[in-house]
Structures are given as structure tokens and as C-alpha cells.
Amino acid sequence: MRFTSAAVATLVTLSLPSCCLARAGWLPSSSSSSKSAPTNQILPPHGGAARVLGQNIKETKSMDAAEPVGASPIDESRDKPLMADLEHLSEILSKIVEGDDSRAHNLYEEFRTLGMERSQDIDDVKPLAQMVAKAKDLTADEALGVTRTFSIMLNLVNSAEVTHRFRNLRKFTNEMDNDAGPLPNVEDSVAGTIKAILTAGDATPEQIYKQLLQQKVEIVLTAHPTQVQRKSLLRKYAEVTETLAYLERPDLNTFERSQARQRLERVVSSIWGADEIRRTKPRVQQEAAGGLAILESVLWEAVPEYLRKLDNQCQLALGKKLPIDVSPINFASWIGGDRDGNPNVTPDVTREVVLQQRLRAARLLIRDLNALFADLALSKKFSPELMELAASVKESPHKRELYRRVIGHLIQRLVKTAREYEAELTRMKVSAVSSGNVLPENSFVVEGWQNVEPLYDVEELMQPLKVVHDSLVQSGFDLVANGLLVDIIRRLAVFGMSLVRLDIREESTRHTMALDAITRHLGIGSYKEWTEEARLSWLTSELSSKRPLLRFDNIDEYVNFDSTVITTLKTFEMASQIRSADLGAYVISQAQTASDVLAVMLLQKQFGMTSSKGNMMRVVPLFETLDDLVNAPSVLETLFSIPLYVGAVKGRQEVMVGYSDSAKDAGRLAACWAQYNSQEKMAKCAALHNIELTFFHGKGGTVGRGGNPSVYRAIMSHPPGTINGRFRVTEQGEMITQNFGANFIAQRTLDTYTSAVCREAFTRHVEPSAEWRNRMAKISDMSCADYRYLVREEPRFVPYFRQATPELELGSLNIGSRPAKRKPKGGIESLRAIPWTFAWAQTRAHLSAWLGVSAGLQYQDEAELNELRAMYKQWPWFRENVDLIAMILSKSDFSIQKNYDEQLVEQNNKSLLALGEEVRNKLVQTREAVLDVTESVSFGGSHSAFMRASTQIRHPYVDPVNVIQAELLKRLRKMEGKVKELTEEEQKEYRTLQDALILSINAIAQGMRNSG
């Protein structure tokens, strides 16, 4: 690609209004490259012709209805209810703030007016300049008040948009087909997917049904520092969403509508009165409780409701019912088990988290069984199996009501179980109710629990419940059988006896250090210094041996082992003492070799966890850097060539692909291509050795960390042969709330995952040609070189990054228990991918998502440009990545980012200021490159759907906060060097500015949505 120097110079020297590029996403014709697309070719929302999802699939219009927001500007007819909701919420907030802090209210209105002016006239630079000037005059208290108001309003905007998304979805579905079934008749729903597959003749009803029964999606909840909201406030915003949805009901009378509006006012008032700021970092246990809160308050109800709808949809479309104990969706968690770089996750913490999970599950099941007990007051028509089961209950007052006899006994056993967990937590000096909401104590009022056996395993509860269900069906009580009882059985199938299985993650060098300490203790040398061949030879020999390496009756007795080795060994000891049903995968971060995998197997064996005993955790290597992804297929080949290993894994292997760290290591395009190639080669390797391979996708919420706001298209664009009905993925930080924060949102998310994996199974993927592969290899090399030069080799970059972004201040946010860096004294390379991405998102530069793209998409002549355009049109994987980059570019704001430089970068350091200009030049070049490839003068790709109406809705609120944040950072940095010398009044001002900064970070995160 060729960029005219005049074009870049014009854009930079005029400080181009961000609206021209960041918002509308277009470039003036005078700035177009000599190779740019025709200026009269403006693409519709999905880039012109129907979007190709596979050789046999093209996207339909129904995908538009399923997006959080549409891709077009505000439509007065369609979006009138959204604007009405926003107006109503704004009036409520404005009235509350005016009554409590009139100065904050007035400043909010003034800044918002300037934000509106900036959004309405894309060429007017005055509103931004006025905001900058006004921010300079704010007192600390004024900055806090106005920022707080904007923060709350942006959260309310999010709540209103969620409601509007489902309003549009219902409207679209009703207009299409009222008899389609309980699930929305859109493409990324099971209803639409089944219809599309059958219509295309890609599969028979029996094949689709079989696929739904055997496929498995596992969503892994993780506690990453992107969720900036406090849990109590998340519940309040969820209540706003639910109340807005309730007000949609046409059957509400005047009183009911008035009560709902008053409820909104109460909730917003309580939000204004709350402290939005975490004053201390959350403990790991608190993070775990937050993750479990979603399971308890939302998913416990949403999952069986969704499965009931899925069952009904299968009956309507496929003519068959789903088995009552089958679910295509499961959940796992890292919260409390992820110890990679987090010293706060100790073995005792993990043990406590598992106990709390089991206690919560027992309490929820007790509540459900109490309700079922009340339903089953039946005294006749029992199956022989039920009568035999009831007879096995020795003591019960229910002689004739046999269902109650059985259910009552199960309640007694669960109460005994819960009491044991409470006692164990007490022995650990932990309150059984210390980590979140619990059921009332009177839920445990049941006689005889002391005289029964506790109930630990799923099958112990599942089997009698199925007997009860079968008896009810055989006796003609089908409706009773398929009510609450089926919901409980389905909950048990999904959540088990511990709500989620807990993964353990640790960094590979910790295992190396542990084995090195052991080999030195045994006098056989230094494991750490052995070659890979020597390690493999010793590991396989020890794995074959029946004797343990050492006797670990008391690990602390090995005084020659350092503390990290002791902790690692105690982690395995702890895992061996936990029921295997409570644990999921053992994930090895920074995995590089086959010995890294065998090392974990040997450490498990040391503590009695083996494949033959059925209690070995599956060992999952995580490949996360560019080099590791390239080498991953050879690692698997080595493992699959070891008979002992293949026998231990029983023909199944899971591999985790790291998206965020690989992108931070090599840039977006190079990382994506490495992930594609690596997965493709690993899948072929597994097939050759007859191993069932499951990929675990470690994605963040942002594009820069591998995130994709459209789950359906993301799954459909994966490399061929890499899903095969098995999809494991992380949900991180704020994305947990966005995707599962309310019942109807959670059901929609579950439906999308289920439909995508089903549809992918019958898709004939587009295989890239040799020419396309060669082209992608060049794109990868050029983009990686460009990215790494700036981040790794440019000496000005680190000082610029630290000055121009709030990276150093993010630690004050108290958002996560984990440190921001793996190594406290390290530089950019040791900074976690999350704060790296978060910092750039705050300044609206989003550099981590697009840096290197313009270099990668360069072309020398018309033939190369045409090849890129053909790849975009015909290859779903390539198009998806380009569209995601286009979406993040539409969020970037040239002028806002430049203001951070003007306020924060040393103005006498011409070198750093010049680097800022170079970064913005690269941003302009990246925009031009994307427009060239997509043949558009507008960022009209599918993912711009997430930016519809931002000019009118979001940016008038976000822009002022960005301006205020830059001013806050400038003041705080001036005070930081002399905090101890400040007067009492100045220290108070300093603390107030800190609070305002935290709220500004929160506000921008909400405005950007997928910010971390």
C-alpha cells in the first residue's frame, strides 16, 4: 500500500477531528491512498453481498436482529423506544443529582452539551477545546461529582441498550414467524440454525438431533481485572435492565406502570448514594463469590429455562425430545484455582473456594427439593422401582406419600452434607457465610439429618430423582414429572454438586523448580539443567514405576526446599484431597515442551492422582506466545508418540490456545495467523494418532485480547476441523456480566453458543488456497516486524506508553486480586495482556488491537490489492479478523488520544511528542488499509453494529470523561512526588482526585463496553 505524505501530513497537522475517522469511520477523498477504493462505493452493514460463513452458508438478514445494536444510524421508528428509555433514565438521574449536588449537575449538563455538539458537527473542533479548557478549571470535588454522574449514566445507557436489543429481537421474530417455537427464529439461534440446515439439505433431522446430544460447550469463568464494577452495583444495574423489560409488557395497568417507574427511581437513587469505588483489593474468595453470584442469581434459573425451550424446539423441528439429563452447555471456573502469577491463590484458598462452592450447591438443591417436596403430595400410583426405593428409607413419617418419603430423605442427606461443609470451613477458621449470599438458616430446619449419610456424588442424587420421574410418567402424572423435577435434574446435570468444576493453572517453571528440588534431594542431578531428551526419559521411567519419588507425610519437613517448591507440592497435595468431580483441567501456562506436560502428570502421581485410579486431572498445555504456538504441533507429536502418555489420556487431549498473550507478543494479525496454523496442524496430528482433541480458547473481552463480540461468527470462522462439536472458552471480567448478567441475556448467550457449534458441525469450511496462505505468511511477518519494532526496539516507546496512558495508575483501581505484572520489576514484556490492552482502551487509541495491521496489509500493485479483496470476500476467517479490526478502529478517537499527549507527555521532550505523532500516523494508515481491503469509504463491516448511534448515544458521555481523565492524571502526577509534603487540605484534594480518576476509568470502560 502507498500512503501519500500529503494525506498523512494533512490529517496530522490539522489534528483531524476524530469524528471524521473514529466515529463515521471515513476518510476525506483528499486523503485517500492512490490505491484506495472507489469513493462512491459505500457498503451496507455487512460489507455488500451476503457474508460468506462457509462454502455452503451465507449470512442472512436475521443476524442483524440478533446484534446488540444495529449497524445503521438511529432509525426514528425502530429506536424510538430506546431513545425514550434513555430520556427517562437521564431525567431520573438528573433530578437526583440536582437535588444532592447542584454544581455537579450543572457541570454534567455543560459537558454533555459540548459532547453533543461535538457528535453533531464532525468538523467542529471547538467543543473539544472548550471541554479541555473547562476541565482545567474544575476543583477536585467538582471533578469527582461530574465524573461520577457520567459514570452512572453510561451504565444506564448499557442497561437500556440491552433491553432494546431484546426488544428488537422479539419484534423481528414475531414478524417472521409466530409458530417457529420458543427460541428466536434468527440465524444465531438454534431455531434459525435448524431451519437453515434443513432448508439447505446439509443434514437430516436425525443428524442434527444427534449432534445436539453429543456436542459440548464449556464456559470457563475467570476473574480478570476488567470487571471494574462492584458486585452490589452490578445487581442494581441488572435490576434497571429487568425493570425496563418489565415496562415493555402491554398488559400493565396504570398503577403497575407507576410502581415500576418508581422502582427505577429507587434503584438509580441507591446507585447515586452508593460508593462505586473498591477501597481495597478483593480477596480471591470474594472474586470467587462474585463468579458464583452469577451462577446462583441468574444461571441457576436461566439454564433449565433455556433447556426447556431447547427441548421444545427439538420437538417442534426435529420430532424428538431431549433426554432430561443432557445438556450441551456446562460451566467451569478459574476463580480460586488460577495461581499463575497470583501469590494470593494458596492451596488453602483453593480448598476453601471448593468447599464454599459445594456448600452453595447443597443449599440451592435443598431449596429446590423443599419446593419439590411440597409438589409431590401424591399417595397412589407408584412404579415398582419407586416403591423399592421408598422402602429403603428406614425412618420417615410419610407412609403413604412415597414421593415425599424419598425426597425428604434426600433433603436430610443434603442437610447433613451442608453441615459437614460448614464444620470443615469452621475448622479452617472461615465463616460459612463469609463469601456472599446464602439461603436463610430456616431452610435447614429438617428433622433426622443427624442420622443419615451425607450425599457427595451427583449420581447419588441423580439416580433417585430419575426413579421418581419415571414413576410419575408411568403413573400418568407427566405434567408433574416434567415440571420442577426436570429442572432439578437438568441443574444437576449442568452444575453437579459443586456448581462448577475448578481448573488449576500454574506456570511451567514452577513444576520444573519442584522436580529440580526433588532430583537434587535424591542426588541424581539437576532436572532443570537436563536436556529435553533426558527429562523425557526420566519422566517416562518414573511414570512407569509403582514407587513414589519421595514420601511426603509432611512436606514442610523438607527444609532444603524453598518456599515456592513447598507451595507447588502442597498444591498437588491439596488437589489429591479434593473430590475429582470438583476439579477440571490442570492448565500449564507458558508450556513449551512435552516434558512440561509429563512433569505435571508425575507430580500428580506422586500424590496418588493417576489415570488408573480415575482421579488424575487432565493436563492441558497452554501455548501463548508466537514461538510456542509455532512449536505446539511438534510438542503434541512427541506426546502422542509416547505409549504411556496415550494410554493415560485415554484417547483424549485438551490444548489451550492463548489469544491475549500471543497478540501482545506479536501483534493482532501475526498472532491470529499463528493460532490458525497451530490449531490446524495440531488437529491433523491428533487425527493421525486417533486422539480426540479439544481446543480451549483463552480469549479476553477485547479484540486486542482475542475477543469477538459476535460468538456465532467467531465460532463459524475457526479453522476447519478444530471444533468438531467441542468448544471450551473463557468468559472474563465484565464479559461475564454482559453475557450472563440477567436471565434473558444468559439464555440468549447459551442459545448462541449452542447454535454456533451445531451449525459449524455441518459447515463445509472455506479452505485457504496456497496463494492465500503465502499471502497470510507475508502479512504475518510484516505486521509482526512492525509491531515488535515499536514495542520492543523503539527506545522511546516505554516512556511514551507510561506517560500517555493511565497504565501506572491502573493498580489503584482494586479490580483484581492478581498483580498486574508477572514480575514486579519487569517492563512491557512482563506486563499482563489485560492492563496492556486496558491502558490503550482508556485513551481511545486501542493501539494493542491494530498496531502492525497497516504494514501487514500493504500492497505493491493492483494484483496484490485484488488478492486481499478476494480473501476478504471469500474467506470467512480473514474477513472476520479484518472486520474486528475495523470495529476497533471505529472506536478509536484521533483527537481524544492526542489530547492525552498534550496533557501528559513532557512538552519539552520533542522526541516523545514525535512518537505520539508517529503512532497517530500509523492509526491513519491502518484505517486507510482496512478501507482499501474492504472496498469501502465507511467502516461498515458487520462489527460496526456495536457502534450504531454511538455518536448520538455514547460519545457525548465518554468524550468529556476522557478529557477530564487526562486533566486528573496531569494533576495527580504533579502531586505524586511530594505526597508526604502535602498539607492536610492538599492530601484531601489528592484523595479526591484519585477517586475521580478511578470513576473516570470505570466510566470509559463502560462506554467502550469490551475494554479489557
Catalytic residues: 224, 664
CA distance 365 to 444: 11
Give me 875's grid cell.
474467506
- Asked if residues 344 and 817 have their Cβ atoms less than 8 Å apart, the reply is yes
Dihedral of alpha carbons 734, 738, 742, 748, sign: negative
AA letter at 988:
K
- Region for 692 from its dihedrals, namely left if φ exceeds 0, alpha if ψ lies in -120 to 50, beta otherwise: beta
Q: Which three cell numbers stand for residue 287?
A: 472474586
DSSP-assigned letters across all residues of 689-712? TT-EEEEEEE--SSGGGT--S-HH
Measured CA angle at 405 (ends 400, 409), to 5 deg: 165
Which value, in Å, is the radius of gyration of the alpha carbons in the chain? 29
Residue type, 220: V
Residue 458 to residue 441: CA distance in whole angstroms: 24
CB 543 within 8 A of CB 606: no
Contacting residues for 482 by C-beta, under 8 A, at least 6 apart: none
> What torsion, rounded to 10 degrees, do the Cα atoms 571, 572, 574, 580 define?
130
Alpha-carbon 203 to chain mean position: 32
What nine digits make up the cell of 65?
436482529
Cell numbers standing for residue 885: 479490526
Q: Identify any residues that bridge with 696 across adjacent strands, giving them in sequence order.
A: 656, 728
> Residue with C-alpha cell 512449536?
631
Query: What does the DSSP 8-state code read for residue 186?
Result: S
Please answer whether residues 886 and 71 qualify as being in contact, where contact means their C-beta atoms are separated by less than 8 angstroms. Answer: no
Place of cell 455487512: 46
335 strand-pairing partners: none
In 3D space, the residue among 157, 186, 277 whose CA is nearest the CA of residue 948 turns out to be: 157
What is the DSSP secondary-structure string of 963-974? HHHHHHHHHHHH
Distance CA 402, CA 931 (A): 71
Q: What is the 3-state secondary structure (H, E, C) of 893-917?
A: CHHHHHHHHHHHCCCCCHHHHHHHH
What string of H, E and C letters represents the secondary structure of 286-304?
HHHHHHHHHHHHHHHHHHH
Under 8 Å between Cβ of 245 and 166: yes
> Can you spell out the DSSP letters for 34-96?
TTPPPTT----TTSSSPPEEETTEE--THHHHHSSS-SSSPPTTTSHHHHHHHHHHHHHHHHH
Length of the chain: 1012
Asked if 772 and 887 count as a contact pair (C-beta separation under 8 A), the reply is no
Alpha helices in 559-615 (DSSP H): 563-577, 594-606
Q: Please check whether residue 439 is in contact with residue 403, taking contact to mean a CB–CB distance below 8 angstroms.
A: no
Alpha carbons 243 and 398: distance in angstroms, whole number = 43
Per-residue cell: 289? 463469590
Q: Which residue has the cell 434468527?
A: 186
Cα–Cα distances (Å) from 97 to 48, 143, 237, 879, in that order, read 46, 14, 17, 46
What span, in angstroms and rounded, lies between the C-alpha atoms of 981 and 978?
A: 5
Tell me if 1008 sits within 8 A of 891, measured CB to CB.
yes
Rounded Cα distance between 878 and 673, Å, is 9
